[in-house]
């Protein structure tokens, strides 16, 4: 299923904390996005900062104004596309079988102080041995590729449109996921969350994207593409699994009430070899995709 959004339809779903972070602002400056547009409200917000931070806060205020002005301009010509599919799925040890495609996954290995279980995403799906088929969602989202080439001769505007593009792809995913939970999948029909609660991920289930700490292997993009055919919305993959347009995101959706985000962390040589075997790649090739997780 393809869902296309105009910019104004997803603008309210933008997580401004990450936008401001990309510009070097700490989270407290992103709070300007929560202030009503009246001048007196913004002036009051500014005076809440210590004097030595007001110049920085003023810069954040101006950046937010210019970002919203650009969103209005982009809304005239561009859209954000999402692609979602609900698939039959089962867990099989540390593998996840989605629509007949096997996704090898990684399980935590680092010793924990609280003796909590070592997690793998496949834990949140009914095991194959149960004989009961479960459901996992797979998704992708991207901006129009032409957006990334805008304002190439204006470094400031070019960076502004790039950072907004990243946020818009994520915002469209957030809006799509809400629709899927409440309507398409329907496991949370009565969900009624504020935008703040959505940003705090207070909904049931999780939506780990490729590159998240629980799904760190970028080559998983190839497997997701086998299931989704991301070219339907204009996404292509490089030989290393990177997505184009750059402002793209893809991943999985889990509905289990106990599902939550976690970090795989460092893995040992034994798990690397096991994962490479399940992934059908050599150990050396697998190292390229899991460099940040290696403790070798």
Least confident of 80-84, 108-112, 173-177, 282-286: 108-112
Tell me the C-alpha distance between 236 and 5, whole Å.
Answer: 20
- Mean pLDDT to the nearest integer, 81-102: 97
pLDDT band at 40 (very low <50, low <70, confident <90, very high): confident
Three-class HEC string of 152-190: CCCHHHHHHHHHHHHHHHHHHHHHHHHHHHHHHCCCCCC
For the chain, the average pLDDT equals 93
pLDDT tens digits for range 217-240: 999 999 999 999 999 999 999 999
Q: What is the pLDDT of residue 218?
A: 94
C-beta separation of 139 from 81 below 8 A: no
Q: pLDDT over 90 for what percent of the chain?
A: 80
DSSP state of 281: S
Checking if the pLDDT of 82 tops 60, the result is yes
Tell me the C-alpha distance between 61 and 25, whole Å.
Answer: 11
CA angle 257, 259, 262 (to 5 degrees): 155
Three-class HEC string of 11-66: HHHCCHHHHHHHCCCCHHHHHHHHCCCCHHHHHHHHHCCCHHHHHHHHHHHHHHHH
Checking if the pLDDT of 15 tops 90, the result is yes
- Mean pLDDT to the nearest integer, 131-139: 97
Token pair 């703040």 is at which residue? 196
Residues comprising the chain, all counted: 296
Checking if the pLDDT of 296 tops 60, the result is no
Candidates 27, 33, 28, 26; CA nearest to 63 is 33
Bridge partner list, 141: 82, 249
pLDDT tens digits for range 246-263: 999 999 999 999 999 999
Long-range CB contacts (within 8 A, 24+) of 151-155? none
Tell me the backbone φ, ψ of residue 227, rounded to 5 degrees: -85, -35
Tell me the C-alpha distance between 214 and 264, whole Å.
Answer: 5
Domain 82-144+199-293 top-level CATH class:
alpha beta
- Mean pLDDT to the nearest integer, 155-179: 96
Domain ranges, ordered by start, for the chain: 82-144+199-293
Kindly state the tokens that stand for 278: 């399940």
């Amino acid at each position: 299923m393809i869902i296309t959004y105009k910019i104004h339809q997803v603008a309210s779903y933008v997580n401004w904390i990450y936008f401001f972070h990309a510009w070097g602002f700490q989270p407290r400056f992103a709070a300007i996005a929560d202030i009503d547009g009246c001048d007196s409200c913004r002036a009051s917000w500014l005076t809440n900062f210590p004097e030595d931070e007001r110049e920085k806060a003023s810069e954040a205020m101006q950046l937010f104004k210019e970002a919203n002005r650009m969103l209005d301009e982009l809304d005239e010509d561009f859209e954000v596309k999402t692609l979602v599919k609900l698939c039959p799925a089962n867990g099989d040890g540390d593998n996840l079988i989605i629509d007949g495609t096997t996704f090898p996954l990684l399980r935590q290995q680092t010793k924990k102080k609280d003796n909590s279980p070592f997690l793998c995403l496949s834990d949140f799906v009914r095991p194959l041995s149960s004989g009961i088929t479960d459901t996992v969602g797979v998704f992708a989202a991207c901006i129009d590729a032409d957006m990334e080439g805008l304002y190439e001769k204006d470094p400031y505007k070019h960076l502004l449109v790039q950072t907004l593009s990243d946020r818009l792809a994520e915002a469209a995913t957030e809006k799509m996921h809400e629709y899927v939970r409440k309507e398409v999948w329907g496991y949370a029909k009565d969900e009624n969350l504020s935008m703040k609660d959505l940003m705090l991920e207070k909904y049931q289930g999780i939506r780990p994207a490729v590159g998240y700490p629980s799904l760190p292997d970028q080559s998983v993009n190839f497997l997701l593409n086998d299931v989704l055919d991301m070219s339907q919305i204009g996404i292509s993959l490089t030989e290393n699994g990177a997505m184009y347009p750059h402002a793209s995101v893809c991943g999985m959706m889990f509905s289990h009430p106990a599902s939550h985000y976690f970090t795989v962390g460092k893995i040992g040589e034994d798990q690397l070899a096991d994962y490479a075997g399940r992934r059908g790649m050599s150990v050396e090739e697998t190292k390229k995709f899991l460099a940040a997780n290696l403790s070798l």
